[in-house]
Amino acid sequence: MSDTLETMRADAEAIIARYPDFPRSALGPILHLVQSVDGYVSPRGIALAAELLNLTRSEVSAVATFYSQYRRHPNGEYNVGVCVNPLCGVMGGEMIWDAVSEHLGVGHDETTEDGKITLERLECNAACDFAPVVMVNWEFFDNQTPASTIQLVEDIQAGKDIHPTRGPDKVHSFKETSRVLAGFEDGHVDEGPSAVGPTLLGKRIAAEQGWTAPQAVAGSPSDTDVDETAGTEPVGKPGSSAERKEETK
C-alpha cells in the first residue's frame, strides 16, 4: 500500500510541475490520478492532494463533490452512462435506461455485484447528432437501442473487449481512463475516427454548395460593432435604419 502511495505522490508532483505559476490548477488532474490508483477519490488521495497543494481537505472535497466524473466511493471497472437528456431521452434514452437498469439490477451510481459495471444516468454526452448515446468510460457508443446496450453490458460482464463507435480501438478500464484524464498518455490517442457521419454533414453540404465562412477585412469593423458617435447605428451599414428600410421597399 505504501508503494502505491509513494508512486501516486511522485506522479502528483509531476502533475504539479506542469503549473509552475499556479500549482492549485493541478487539483483536477490529481483527483483523476487518485482514481486511477484507488478507483475513486479516496480519503488518502484527498489527504495527499491537500498536502501537496497546501489546501484543506474540505477544499479538495468541495471540488471532488462538484464534478460528476469524480467518485466518492469505489467505481466499477466500467462506467456505463446512459444519456437521458431531452434529445437522447425522446430518441430512446429513457427506454435504454429502464431496460439496462432492470437487466443489471442496479440504479443510478450503483455497481453490479461482480464489480464490473457502475451504471449512471447522464444529463448530456455532448453527442446529440448520434442520439441516443451511451458512454463507457467516456468512450462513445452511438445510436444505441435497449437491445444493443444490453448486449454491450453482457459483453463487459463476460470479459470481452468492447469497441466504441469512435475513438480508441477498444474501451480501457475506468482506472486506465482516469490516468489518461490525469494527463498521462496511453498511446491510443490516434486510434479510430473522432468525427464521422452527422458531425461532418454540414461541412460536406458546404463543400458541395461552394459555401465558405465570411472573411474579415483588415481594418473593417464587424457588423456588430457600434459607432458610439451615432447612437446605436451599426458601423459599416450605409444610411440610417429608416433609410435602409426605405431601400428595401
Q: What is the mean pLDDT of each run of 10 residues along the chain (249 residues)?
A: 84 97 96 97 97 97 95 96 94 96 97 97 90 95 97 97 91 96 84 75 88 81 50 43 43
7 assigned to some structural domain = yes
82 and 171 co-located in one domain: yes
Instruction: Locate 191 and state its grid cell.
Output: 486510434
For residue 21, the enclosing domain spans: 2-66
Task: Say if residue 82 is in the same domain as residue 162.
Answer: yes
Query: Is residue 186, in this structure, part of any structural domain at all?
Result: no
Query: Would 200 be classed as within a structural domain?
Result: no
Q: Does the CA dihedral 210-214-216-217 come out positive or negative?
A: positive
Q: Do 111 and 41 belong together in one domain?
A: no
Q: How many separate domains does the chain show?
A: 3
101 and 133 together in one domain:
yes
Q: pTM here?
A: 0.78
In a domain, 155, yes or no: yes
The answer to the question of residue 115 being in a domain is: yes
Of 34, 66, 98, the position where a domain reaches its end is: 66
In a domain, 97, yes or no: yes
Pairwise CA distance, residues 225 & 235, whole Å? 6
